[in-house]
Each structure stands twice: as C-alpha cells, then as structure tokens.
Amino acid sequence: MTDALRDADSVFELRRYTLKPGARERLISVFDTHLVESQEAVGMSVLCQFRDPAAPDQFVWFRGFADQQSRSRALPAFYGGPVWAQHGPAANETMLAWDDVLMLKPATSEAAFRADGPERPPAGTTDTGSGSVFLLALHHLQPGTPDEDAASVAAAVMGAARAANGEVLASLITDRSENGFPRLPVREGECVAVTLARPGEPGGAAALEAALGVFPEAHRAVQAARPPELARLVPTARSLLR
C-alpha cells in the first residue's frame, strides 16, 4: 500500500485502548516506529492514530481492510509474524484494556476515508506541528436496529456535521459479520453509528462538537441506547489523517 489512504476498504476497526498511567507516549513510540508499515505490509490500512487530551490514558486508532476475507488473512499474518513477536510485548506492557474494539462498515456508498491524503511522515518523526483537532462521535442505537435505520442516523449526523462546516472523514455503522480472528475480540451485540470529522475552519470545534453531540431529531423513531459519546482527538505525528 502507498502512503495515500485507500478508498476501497469496506471493513474497519475502531480500537480504543486503556493504558497504564503515564504509558501513552511509550505506546505511541512503539506503534509509530514499528507497527505501522509492518501492518500495511500484510494487507491492512493504518488510517489514523490519536491522543485524547481529555483522557490521558487512552490511545485511539482506526485500521481498514479491503473485505472480511482480507481481514481474516491479514490479522494472523501480522500477529503471528516476526514484528509483533519482537515489539508486541512492549506494546502490551503499556495496556490495561485492549478489547474496546468496534468492527464497522461504511454507512453510505461514499468512501469511508479520503483516498488523497498527504504522505506519512517518516519513522522517527515526533512532532508535525499541525495542531489539528478531530471529533469522534459514537451514536449508540438499540442492538437490533436494522442496518438501514442505523445508516439513516449516520446520514443525519453527517448532515449535521456538514451544516456546522465540518469535514466528514468517515461515516460508519456496525458490521455484524462473524469475527474472523477470535484472538482479537470485538464488541458484539451492539449497534452504533460512528462519525469522524474535523472543523472546516479555525475555531470551529465547538460548533462541530455541538452538532455531533445530539441524537438526530428527525430520527427519534430509531431508539437510542444511551447518549452519544464524543471525543476531541489529536493525531500522532505519523497518523495519515492529521
């Protein structure tokens, strides 16, 4: 894979790790140095990785796969391979919980992540100075919500974000496919609409956050399971989205 974001991926993981106090920078150092190109070499897309300034012991990242078959091949190839054998123990040492994982698929026919992103900075880069802020929103629906209803909620959230001058980078819903690599669990029995966006203008984060932080009024017939989750995220130096 090149440094441009792939627009053909149809399966995504949102991974949120809870880390030991003070361990986030150690994990980012291992991840950005050793665990980016090595995953892409076996067929994954490492799309973006973030710090959450409001949660100093959390690391958040997305990766993508062309399809479920590719995921089932790529994950054992990586986690059974030499790079993870060498650097995985150092990554695992930083973590308290690593199973907060959502398997997702595009909510619309649009590409879930843009395909014309900038080149990734080289290994060893620690500060891009971009100052970018991204908004991650999770709208939780009842577990049995049909995909078409989840997609309609995702579309309404995307519309609200764009009305607040936000740039929507991904609009996703739960992929209920069987987990083809049980060694890495995913959260099952849930239905979510996930939106990743960033302000389209300086100082626009508050307006975008307000737009994302409500359940779409036009879709009250689709029952929310609990209030939306929101996070302001800052990309690491080697995130493709930054």
Supply the pTM of this predicted model.
0.94
Q: How far is CA 224 from the centre of its chain?
A: 21
> What is the rounded distance in angstroms from the CA atom of residue 152 to the CA atom of residue 218?
10
Predicted confidence (pLDDT) per residue in 124-171, tens digit: 887 755 678 999 999 999 999 999 999 999 999 999 999 999 999 999
| Alpha helix stretches (DSSP H) within 35-107 | 37-40, 68-79, 82-93
**Domain boundaries, position 155:** 11-235
Handedness of CA 199, 35, 69, 76 (dihedral sign): negative
Whether residue 3 lies inside any domain: the answer is: no
Whether residue 4 lies inside any domain: the answer is: no
Residue 48: which H helix or E strand, with range? strand 45-51
Q: Buried b vs exposed e over 167-188: b needs ≥16 C-beta within 10 Å?
A: bbbbbbbbbeeebbeeebebee
> What is the rounded distance in angstroms from the CA atom of residue 140 to the CA atom of residue 56?
24
CB 134 within 8 A of CB 44: no
Mean pLDDT of 211-230: 83
The candidate with the shortest Cα–Cα distance to 100, out of 17, 13, 12, is 17
Whether residue 65 lies inside any domain: the answer is: yes
Mean pLDDT of 197-212: 92
Residue 225 has pLDDT above 70, yes or no: yes
Whether residue 1 lies inside any domain: the answer is: no
SS3 for 117?
coil
Whether residue 69 lies inside any domain: the answer is: yes
CB neighbours (10 Å) of residue 52?
A: 17
> What is the rounded distance in angstroms from the CA atom of residue 232 to the CA atom of residue 227?
16
| Residue recorded with tokens 């049909």 | 146
Whether residue 5 lies inside any domain: the answer is: no
Residue 223 has pLDDT above 90, yes or no: no
CB 17 within 8 A of CB 58: yes
Residue 211: which H helix or E strand, with range? helix 205-212
Residue 5 has pLDDT above 70, yes or no: no
Relative to beta strand 58-65, strand 134-141 is unpaired
The token pair that represents 187 in the structure block: 């959260």
Predicted confidence (pLDDT) per residue in 11-45, tens digit: 999 999 999 999 999 999 999 999 999 999 999 99
CATH of the domain at 156: 3.30.70.100
Whether residue 56 lies inside any domain: the answer is: yes
pLDDT of residue 128: 59
Q: How many domains does the chain have?
A: 1
Whether residue 242 lies inside any domain: the answer is: no
